[in-house]
A and B are shown apart, each in its own frame.
Chain A
Amino acid sequence: MELADEELMQLVGRGDPRAFEVVYERHSGAAFSLAYRMTGKRVTAEEVVQEAFLALWRTNARYDRARGSVRTWILGIVHNRAIDALRRGMVHDRRRASDEGIEERFESRDRTDVEAARHDEAREVRDALGTLPAEQLKVIELAYFGGFTHSEIAKMLDTPIGTVKGRMRLGLAKMRDQLGPGREAFA
């Protein structure tokens, strides 16, 4: 019988490498995709994902169910680590990996049901993002995937700070509406 993520995390907390391996198998794809999207470099993305999963293992997996799903939690760690990497200047020549620009794709493995579901969700989220006005999409992407603060973005785009904040809020609200009810599952 397949264990739920939450049950696996308890085993990871007790130092069970097999449970860790299953958690890695389930979430490393999304984790690596996020790290690569943010850093634009495969080597850095590997470092970020390795750091994130080792932190999960070595700190006995401080997972709090109240804060959302295991996936959201892991991706949060990866996101923070990637921002740390960007701000430490590990990525000097940052290039943005875009849907069209990725040249370093790895051969896809046979898709499991979990992976297929993830790909469907990814498409749904990208569709929702695609409905945003370009200026809202830009500030959200720069903030989330670029790790820039709102004032850095304001300078970069030569736009008032208040406008940048407003675009972020309105864009997220529209995206939430596009995703529709029941999307709490993402969190």
Chain B
Amino acid sequence: MMDTDHDELRDSAGPWVLGALDDDDAWRFAAHLEVCASCREEVESLRVAAAALPLAAPPVEPPPALKARLMNIVQAEAEERRAASAGAAGPAGAASRWRTWFGALQARPALAAGLATLLIVAGGLAGFAARGGGGSSTRTSAALVDQHRAPGARAQLVEGAGGTQLRVTNMPAPARGHVYQVWVVERPGSAPRPDAVFTVDRAGRGSVGVRGIVAGARQVLVTQERDGGASAPTTSPVIMVKPA
């Protein structure tokens, strides 16, 4: 039985390294890889070929205007970051924008009331249920999810030796031209630091590595932003996590 399973699953190594397995098969093969050294070797050896594939694309030069556009954005944001870090005492900068945004949220009763409802709904489902990990080095923090915008969605933040991951299930795909973006709020009132961006698969599943230091952070948030992400949140959070 095991051999039959193995033989059948072994062929999944090809689509696995190409990222072409359907979700169910991907979960099944991922579980098999945990216990099958031979398939892990096969995956590693095929990965060499898969990694070479992008080079087979016929060479096409990007237009100079693309670089000009990108550099304009990058230069402007670098300048903004410098100004924000140099003028922490001043009213300008991302921190004050965040406070303004949060203030606006609190000043809008309907939205604030909606958010409170969402917190209760989500709290009923998960709350800030931090688990200590039962002796393992992994810590899991459940998230509050805006159940109006993401009905049935769940999220959790998993901190382990290999880093921190935000995992979501049943999340709706972001609107066209948008992505989900992670933010780390280090201290009360501090500006959320932009972190990873992600989308979800057709089943609403997604996971993303969180780069910022989460331990001791006040909150980890997820907002929907335009493709490429933003340097400060422009929408209210759809997910909020208080790290364990």
Chain A positions within 8 Å of B, measured between CB atoms, are 15-17, 20-21, 24-25, 28-34, 36-38, 42, 45-47, 49-51, 53-55, 57-60, 62, 68, 72, 75, 78-80, 83-84, 87-90, 97-99, 102, 104-109, 118-119, 121-122, 125-126, 128-129, 140, 143-145, 148-151, 153, 162, 164-173, 175-176, 179, 183-184, 186-187
Q: Beyond A50-B69, A90-B176, A145-B57, is A187–B46 a contact (Cβ under 8 Å)?
A: no
Residue on A nearest B225 in the bound complex, by CB: A58
Check B228 against A187 for contact (C-beta < 8 Å). no
Residue on A nearest B56 in the bound complex, by CB: A125
Contacts of B183-222 to chain A: CB distance below 8 A:
194-197, 199, 202, 209, 211
Q: Nearest-CB distance from A150 to chain B (Å)? A: 4
Which of B4-12, B101-109, B137-145, B152-160 participates in binding chain A?
B4-12
B74 in complex: contacting residue of A20, A36, A72, CB < 8 Å: A20
Check B15 against A105 for contact (C-beta < 8 Å). no
Check A150 against B57 for contact (C-beta < 8 Å). no
Contacts of B69-93 to chain A: CB distance below 8 A:
69-71, 73-75, 77-78, 81-82
Check A59 against B202 for contact (C-beta < 8 Å). no
Check B60 against A36 for contact (C-beta < 8 Å). yes
B30 touches A (CB below 8 Å):
no
B243 touches A (CB below 8 Å):
no
Size of B's binding interface in residues, CB under 8 A:
62
Check A55 against B197 for contact (C-beta < 8 Å). yes
B1 touches A (CB below 8 Å):
no
The CA of A97 and the CA of B22, in the complex, are separated in Å by 25
The CA of A153 and the CA of B230, in the complex, are separated in Å by 36
The CA of A122 and the CA of B62, in the complex, are separated in Å by 17
Q: Nearest-CB distance from A96 to chain B (Å)? A: 11
B58 touches A (CB below 8 Å):
yes
Q: Nearest-CB distance from B50 to chain A (Å)? A: 6
Hey, which chain A residues are within 8 Å of B75, CB to CB?
17
Check A46 against B14 for contact (C-beta < 8 Å). no
The CA of A176 and the CA of B17, in the complex, are separated in Å by 13
The CA of A138 and the CA of B104, in the complex, are separated in Å by 54
